[in-house]
Amino acid sequence: MQKNKSRRVEILEKSAILFHKKGYSATSMRDIAKAMNMESASLYNHIKSKQEILQAILLPLAHRYTKGIEEIVNSPLTSIQQLERIIADQVRITIENTDSVSLIPNEWVHLKNKSEKDKSEKDALKEFLQLRNFYEKEFKTVFKKCIKDGYLRKVNVDIAIFSILSTLRWLYSWYSKNRNINSLVLETELINNLIGGLKKT
């Protein structure tokens, strides 16, 4: 059982790399089997479809984001400390799951909901979008509270959040070429760059 579980994890990791490099649509199950040094038939003993792989990569990642922001929002930290911690958490997730995170900006559109034929499937697309919307709503709430509490200047909230989240969403692209940077340095620099100019002096 443990061997099968480890093999499945390895399949997901290799698949994330291939999806990152080639894109989900351009990657075949045969490509994944080749990367695993397996016959295609053997691959299906561990995973039934490419869609299952994509779901197994993106949904736990989406839950990780929402769990992180939920814990931070419910902490006794001040609103500005919460915002900084949320940014730092996104940086850590990117560092720890660079290839998987790279699939979030574009490849999520390939997630599917359960079909009429197979009720055992999950509504993966619906679940992912619900988690993403929850995260963005919580982020916006914290950001607005920072303004209300006097930590940040009054700015266009939607534009500011778009700028911050876009940078964090595409951080994987920069980090994949600069993996030698210290994680704490990266967290500190991004926090300063993303919200430093918005703080009241």
- The domain that holds 100 is classified in CATH as 1.10.357.10
Question: Both 69 and 106 in a single domain?
Answer: yes
pLDDT at residue number 158 = 97
Selection from 114, 138, 115 nearest residue 126 by Cα: 114
Question: Both 86 and 142 in a single domain?
Answer: yes
- Identity at 196, one-letter amino acid code: G
Question: Both 80 and 137 in a single domain?
Answer: yes
pLDDT at residue number 34 = 93
- Domains held by the chain: number: 2
pLDDT at residue number 6 = 83
Containing domain of residue 117, as a range?
Answer: 49-198
Question: Both 10 and 25 in a single domain?
Answer: yes
- What are the pLDDT tens digits along the chain (201 aa)? 345 458 889 999 999 999 999 999 999 999 999 999 988 888 888 888 999 999 999 999 999 999 999 999 999 999 999 999 999 999 999 999 999 999 999 999 999 998 766 665 679 999 999 999 999 999 999 999 999 999 999 999 999 999 999 999 999 999 999 999 999 999 999 999 999 999 987
Question: Quick count: other Cβ atoms within 10 Å of Cβ 73?
Answer: 17
Examine the fold and report which residue of 47, 68, 85 is the final residue of a domain before the chain moves on: 47
List CB contacts of 155: < 8 A, sequence separation 6 or more.
Answer: 147, 198
> What are the DSSP calls for 158-178, one per residue?
HHHHHHHHHHHHTHHHHHTT-
- How far, in Å, CA of 143 to CA of 141, rounded? 5
